Amino acid sequence: MRYAYYPGCVAQGGAPELFQAMKLVGERLGFSLEHLKEAACTGAGVLQERDPELGDALNARTFAMAERRGLPIMTICSTCQGVMSQANHRLTKDANYREFINQYLKPEGLEYQGDVEIKHFMWVLVEDYGLDRLKEQVKRPLTGVALAPFYGCYVLRPTSQLGYDEHPERGTYLEQIITALGGVAVDFEGKSRCCGFPILTMNRDNSLKMAGKHLLDAKGQGADVMVTPCPLCHLNLDGQQPEAEKILKTQINLPVIHLPQMVGLALGLEPRAVGLNRHITSARRFAAKVPA
């Protein structure tokens, strides 16, 4: 279980609790994570809309670093996963395009040959580590806790570029992990919809309405907590939750946690150790509900 580790910008910026939780969970599960500290931002779709080739060059550079180590990439960000998967799709299907992009990597002594697999931690847990093995590691099952899965667009769409032909169940992994950890997965309409974060600075009201709608939807279905593999979704669903409440003129008060935090709790890590104290909407009540 050795990976070139790509945590993404937000886990090293506005969501430090995610980075912190993944470090501890990785140690518990016996992962060897080699942090690609020289890797650049994926572009998050923003650079790609300005210049698709620029975005692909930055990502090819990251892939070449992993390829040189002979390792697959693991990320903990749905957005990074989606953007890297799309870039890899273009770079692997067309050798001429890859050669064109590689000319920009040459001065650094890098070349991407098209042989790197990129996997979100959520996919790694199910496909590489295995849910049966994960169940064996559970020290504190999430019995009786209702968890609402919220995926983030970039690990769901477009399926043609995210390995769904080979792994058609990737759109249900969060529920499978929740169940493996002993929790109850809450089904709600918004689980595969957009959190609204990409337009937070362009159309704040629309962005907050989207976040609030899904939070209320999950809460209405009985969720104690929402769990997401995407730190950008987390920025909106948790970080902006008080603002969404103002826009919707209602109280939501639904804690939102990161996937590694949920796994860490079930593995027996203390709530504070996985950073549950760092959320804007308090996760204290949820943490207390997890059987000791």
Q: Residue 217 interacts with other proteins (CB under 8 A)?
A: no
Task: Please report how close the Cβ of residue 221 comes to other proteins at its closest, in angstroms.
Answer: 15
Residue 49: both structure tokens together: 């809309």
Closest CB 129 distance from other proteins, rounded Å: 27
- 184-185 β-sheet, strand order: 184-185, 146-149, 225-228, 256-258
Which residue blocks in the chain are alpha helix, DSSP H?
16-29, 46-50, 52-69, 78-93, 95-102, 121-123, 131-137, 173-180, 204-220, 231-234, 241-248, 259-266, 284-289
| Distance in Å, CB of 269 to other proteins, minimum | 18
For residue 211 the two structure tokens come to 């976040």
CB of 240 to other proteins, least distance (A): 6
Q: Which is nearer to other proteins, 141 or 242 (CB)?
A: 242
224 contacts other proteins (rule: CB under 8 A): no
- Out of 30, 165, 166, 201, name the contact with other proteins by CB under 8 A: 201
Q: Which of residues 45-104 bind other proteins (CB under 8 A)?
A: 45-51, 53-54, 57-58, 61, 104
Which DSSP category does 127 fall into? I
35: contact with other proteins by CB under 8 A: no
| Nearest alpha-carbon partner for 105 in 53, 56, 37, 57 | 57
Nearer to other proteins, 28 or 209 (CB): 209
Answer for the pair 277, 236: CB distance below 8 angstroms, yes or no.
Answer: no
Cβ proximity of 216 and 150 under 8 Å: no
Binding residues vs other proteins (CB under 8 A): 9-10, 12-17, 37-41, 43-51, 53-54, 57-58, 61, 104-105, 107-108, 153-154, 156-159, 189, 193-194, 196, 198-199, 201-207, 209-210, 213, 239-240, 242-243, 277-280
